[in-house]
Chain A
Amino acid sequence: MNKKEFIQNLKSNLKHLQKEELEEVISDYTEHFEIGISEGRKEHEISKSLGNPKTIAKSLTAHHHIKVATENKTAKNITRAILSVIGLSFFNLIFILGPFIGIFATLIAIFITGFTMSIAGIGSIFLVIIGILQMGVSFWTGTFLLLACSTAGILITIGNYYLTKWFLKIMLKYLKFNIKVIGINEVFEK
């Protein structure tokens, strides 16, 4: 791979970076090539010792997505960060994706439960009226059941909101740790 091919390859694998950031990365590697060439080294020799541009791009992309997600903790940004870190190694496919899907599914299930209970509590106002009129359930028993159901639902939803927030925070910390550790074997020549 010569200088042009290396830079082109790196560029095409860095689509997610902002323009300024991309330009800086490209200029870093261009500078590296130019100094190497001025010292009499061959282009393909320099690119060989630099390593695979795809690996470099993956590492930069993952770092970029984590940075964005840390600054702006939206579900979209965090999902992107997770996916880019997963892309770093096969190990991550198993050890991040699996558990995270499991935890996310659980959190969503709790949300649905809480939401359903809140709605059911409010919706059952009709049942209470019917109960009182038709079945002789006392007004207070009916009202109590309704309030209990709604309150539990709302509390579950609020609790789950904080649980989710906490989980996302822990996850970002883990991703930062993971990016430091995983993929490092490529840094050192075999």
Chain B
Amino acid sequence: MNAQFKKGILELCVLKILTNRDYYGYELVQEISKSIKITEGTIYPLLKRLRDNKFLSTYLKESVEGPSRKYYKLTKTGQKEFDKMIIEWNEFSKEINKFLNGENKNE
């Protein structure tokens, strides 16, 4: 898989997870790790970049078990970006599938 492709997928996954509810960093990393093998520490720079782009916002919330946690929340801009990315992704995968199926028929 090429690098740009992977990166897009990771961003898409992070935004997707945050469409459900707000997550704190650790929880988000665990959620992604369930489906994609990642080097966990690299998620934080990505989250920071997404926040600088105004796709995410953060807030601190007290937790029962210990110190307060930083939660990530999808912004309206982030939701729009996610919708756009999903459309692009669907178009892309449709084309690839069409291509792959076409190739199989020729065999």
Q: Do A and B come from one complex?
A: yes
Give the residues from 54 to 84 in chain B that come closer than 8 angstroms, CB to CB, to chain A.
65-67, 69-70
Whether a CB of chain A sits under 8 angstroms from the CB of B42 is yes
How many A-B residue pairs lie within 8 Å, measured between CB atoms?
A: 85
Instruction: Tell me whether chain B's interface is mostly helix, strand or loop, or mixed.
Output: helix
Interface size on A, residues (CB 8 A): 30
**A189 in complex: contacting residue of B24, B29, B37, B69, CB < 8 Å:** B37
Bound Cα distance A185, B92 (Å): 22
Bound Cα distance A32, B24 (Å): 9
**B39 in complex: contacting residue of A34, A38, A181, A186, CB < 8 Å:** A186
Contact present for B25 and A28 (CB under 8 Å): yes
Contact present for A59 and B7 (CB under 8 Å): no
Contact present for A32 and B26 (CB under 8 Å): yes
Contact present for A31 and B70 (CB under 8 Å): yes
Contact present for A34 and B6 (CB under 8 Å): no
Whether a CB of chain B sits under 8 angstroms from the CB of A188 is yes
Taking the nearest CB of chain B, how far is it from the CB of A59, in angstroms? 4
- A49-57, A92-100, A165-173 - the one binding chain B: A49-57
Give the residues from 1 to 53 in chain A that come closer than 8 angstroms, CB to CB, to chain B.
25, 27-29, 31-32, 34-36, 38, 49-53
Contact present for A50 and B40 (CB under 8 Å): yes
Whether a CB of chain A sits under 8 angstroms from the CB of B3 is yes
Question: 17 extra interchain contacts, Cβ-Cβ under 8 A, other than A31-B69, A52-B39?
Answer: A29-B41, A29-B44, A31-B25, A32-B40, A34-B66, A38-B65, A50-B39, A50-B40, A50-B41, A51-B39, A51-B40, A56-B41, A56-B44, A63-B45, A185-B3, A188-B37, A188-B39
* B interface with A by C-beta (< 8 Å): 3-4, 6-7, 10, 24-26, 29, 36-42, 44-46, 48-49, 52, 65-67, 69-70
* A interface with B by C-beta (< 8 Å): 25, 27-29, 31-32, 34-36, 38, 49-53, 55-56, 59-60, 63, 67, 180-182, 184-189
- 29 pairs from A and B in contact (CB 8 Å cutoff): A28-B44, A29-B44, A31-B67, A32-B25, A32-B29, A32-B40, A34-B67, A35-B24, A35-B26, A38-B65, A49-B40, A52-B41, A55-B39, A55-B41, A63-B48, A63-B52, A67-B52, A181-B7, A182-B3, A184-B4, A185-B3, A186-B39, A186-B42, A187-B10, A187-B39, A187-B42, A188-B6, A188-B37, A188-B38
